[in-house]
A and B are shown apart, each in its own frame.
Chain A
Amino acid sequence: MMLLIYLAMGLVTLAGTVVVLSREPARQAVSLSVFGLMLAILFVTVQAPDVALSQLAIGTAVVPLMIMLTIQKLGGRQ
């Protein structure tokens, strides 16, 4: 079980670094979504399924969608 937790932590660290290092907002929104998915997996491995569900719904769906819509709006203005 500890091995799974460490593996999930490693994935979170990796995905988080990718989010920080991607410079283009549209790509950042997609990598943020992947980061959210990894966090949800980490929450499942530490036996917090309730939090994992919230994270899955908000972090991987709603927040990246709002960012994408904002980019769409700003892109249309330029």
Chain B
Amino acid sequence: MSPRARLVLFAAVTPVFAVLFFLAARGLPSFGSDFHPYGDRAVAVAIEQRATDNVVSSVNFDQRAVDTLGEEFILFGSVIGTLVLLRPSPEERQVGQRSAGRVLPTTRLAGYLLLPVSVLVGLYVIAHGQLSPGGGFQGGVVLATGWHLLYVAGRYLAMRRAAPPTVLEITESLGAAAFAAVGLAGLGLGGAFLANVLPTGSRGELLSGGTVPLLNAAVGVEVAAAVVLLLAAFLEQAVVLRRVDYQDQR
């Protein structure tokens, strides 16, 4: 589509969308009002019955945990799809250099210093999902991005060797399976899939919220492994694999 045609389409559709969006948003409760029927019930259940201080985690991993199970498998499926798409094609060979080339000493130092810090932050965010903002997903992504500081520090090979794809794939699957296993345990012991069957403890303690910390840990493992796998596939394509002409192969 030419830029001009795009502009015409944009100008034709935008007013329609604007009017419909305005009409739809008029029915919403006004911003900042104190009428929150769903919120009030969710907060009451999270605080009084389940001793989960972070209500968002209580909704995500307890009251509506089935939704999170779905999201977890969406991530699982999309990572598998991306890995299939990014696999080396027959005309690609590993000709790129496996080291990251020249890295400034200051960059290397920053990478090494920030690696333990970000791993600690990631583990903290996963472990405190029931108490403070964050949880398995956020902490898992922090862990995975922190891990790539090794690449920034010029240790691509060491990073690859320390976490081979097979190990990551198994770890990712185990994380996803653990979530489903906790759900089945709820079915067996509590009579409902993902029922919160563990003792909830008391509010503000590290082990409170029943199954919420367990599910957060499962999601943390799954997400960290999934994002490392994903970025590893992109890195492999960008850094190591090069398209080789058939002429060169002979």
Q: Which residues of A contact B (CB under 8 A)?
A: 2, 49-50, 52-54, 57-58, 61-62, 65-66, 69-70, 72-73, 76-77
* Chain B residues whose C-beta falls within 8 Å of the C-beta of A77 in the assembled complex: 243
Q: Which residues of B contact A (CB under 8 A)?
A: 32, 54, 56-57, 125, 133-135, 137-138, 141-142, 144-145, 148, 227, 230-231, 234-235, 237-239, 242-243
Closest to B133 in A: A49
Contact among A49, A50, A57, A69 for B237, CB-based, below 8 A: A69
- The 9 A-B pairs of least Cβ separation, nearest first, read A49-B133, A57-B141, A69-B238, A53-B138, A69-B234, A72-B238, A50-B56, A73-B238, A50-B133
Interface residues of chain A: helix, strand, loop or mixed (majority): helix
A76 touches B242 (CB 8 A): yes
Instruction: List 5 A-B pairs, Cβ < 8 Å.
Output: A52-B133, A54-B141, A57-B145, A62-B145, A66-B234
A-B contacts besides A57-B138, A65-B234, 18 pairs, CB < 8 Å: A50-B56, A50-B134, A50-B135, A53-B125, A53-B133, A53-B138, A57-B145, A58-B141, A61-B141, A61-B145, A62-B144, A66-B230, A69-B231, A69-B237, A72-B238, A73-B237, A73-B238, A76-B242
* Chain B residues whose C-beta falls within 8 Å of the C-beta of A2 in the assembled complex: 32
How far does the Cβ of B58 sit from chain A's closest Cβ, in whole Å?
A: 11
A69 touches B145 (CB 8 A): no
Q: In the complex, which of the residues A2, A50, A61, A66 has the most CB atoms of chain B within 10 Å of its own CB atom?
A: A50
- A54–B237 alpha-carbon span in the complex (Å): 26
* Chain B residues whose C-beta falls within 8 Å of the C-beta of A61 in the assembled complex: 141, 145
- A61–B118 alpha-carbon span in the complex (Å): 13
- A47–B230 alpha-carbon span in the complex (Å): 31
Closest to A71 in B: B238
* Chain A residues whose C-beta falls within 8 Å of the C-beta of B54 in the assembled complex: 50
Closest to A76 in B: B242
* Chain A residues whose C-beta falls within 8 Å of the C-beta of B138 in the assembled complex: 50, 53-54, 57
* Chain A residues whose C-beta falls within 8 Å of the C-beta of B239 in the assembled complex: 72
B238 touches A62 (CB 8 A): no
How far does the Cβ of A9 sit from chain B's closest Cβ, in whole Å?
A: 11
* Chain B residues whose C-beta falls within 8 Å of the C-beta of A57 in the assembled complex: 138, 141-142, 145
* Chain A residues whose C-beta falls within 8 Å of the C-beta of B242 in the assembled complex: 76
How far does the Cβ of A71 sit from chain B's closest Cβ, in whole Å?
A: 9
How far does the Cβ of B238 sit from chain A's closest Cβ, in whole Å?
A: 4
* Chain A residues whose C-beta falls within 8 Å of the C-beta of B57 in the assembled complex: 50
* Chain B residues whose C-beta falls within 8 Å of the C-beta of A66 in the assembled complex: 230-231, 234
How far does the Cβ of A19 sit from chain B's closest Cβ, in whole Å?
A: 16
How far does the Cβ of A48 sit from chain B's closest Cβ, in whole Å?
A: 8
- A62–B142 alpha-carbon span in the complex (Å): 10
